Structure 1
Amino acid sequence: ERMLGLFINTLPVRVRLRPEEPLIGLLTRLQDEQAQLIPHHHYGLSDIQRNTGFGTLFDTTTVLTNYPLDPSVLDRVLGDLDVLDIDNEDATHYPLRMAVVPDGDSLGLRLGYLPDLYTRDEAQRLLDRVLHLLETLAEDPERPVGDIDILTEEERHQLLVEWGGY
């Protein structure tokens, strides 16, 4: 009650992909598995790193912002104090970070990256793949995970023709 700020515990998540499993089944299973782990969420990242012996457990973070701000609440809570502008900026030391944030009646995606590891074009291609996966989920939630193609035509040509000789 006397401290201001966001206190979160970043934890690694292992996702096992089963090629025959439908997309919606994967998401349901992942949600169930994560719900079973809630009693262990107090375990800190530094403790996990120390106990596993690994210095780096992951290099990508995904954050779902589930606390949408209703600006009208500020008037009631802050009284005479005026808030003129509200904005936030995500910053981490991880090479890739994706945040899902409420934006009115929809959700927005923010992809952050370290520019010394990824170019803007590489980051855009990764974001395009995420959007493709989300579109696939919306169009065909029963599609098996192993049937999802995330390569662009150019990448497929390079892989099969230029590098593979097909």
Structure 2
Amino acid sequence: MTKLTATLLIATMAVSACGRLGDSGWNPLSWGSAPARSLEPEGGYTQVSDTRPSIPQITSARWEPLNEGLLLVVNGFAPVRGYSAVALVTARPMPGDRISPDADGVLRLRLVGVPPAPGSPAALPARPGVDEITAAMALSSVQLSRIAAVEIASAGNVVTLRR
């Protein structure tokens, strides 16, 4: 019995030593290996960019404290009232709600919104200081740890906030 065990042990060690793991067809560890699998979809992740036009002008931007991070509040102005679906979106498309800065540590955002249809009753002339457009974005402390500055662009100007 000990001779059979010793022979099997020597044969197993010799076969398993055939090349690196998975390099040899004689290696029993590579006989049932499946190709590497990924969670990425077949065609890759879709990069959807926001097609809403930029708000004409940014009037102010500021940080507001939160329990776990900061709230970026941006005010803008348009020549007419009635803008809807106003938001801060990333300048380059990012999958899902993942927000990350560019390689230089700057998070680039755009202030966008849908203008009122031409001739609609909502498209009244806007009054400066009264008819402001406001959008906000919450950033957690983890997201802020990678961000050195935030750059917000509109159709007419760019505002930069340093941390």
What band does the TM-score fall into relative to the shorter chain? under 0.3
Given the two structures, how large is their TM-score scaled by the length of structure 2? 0.25
Where is the helix percentage greater, Structure 1 or Structure 2?
A: 1
Instruction: Select the structure with the greater relative contact order (CA < 8 A; seq sep ≥ 6).
Output: 1
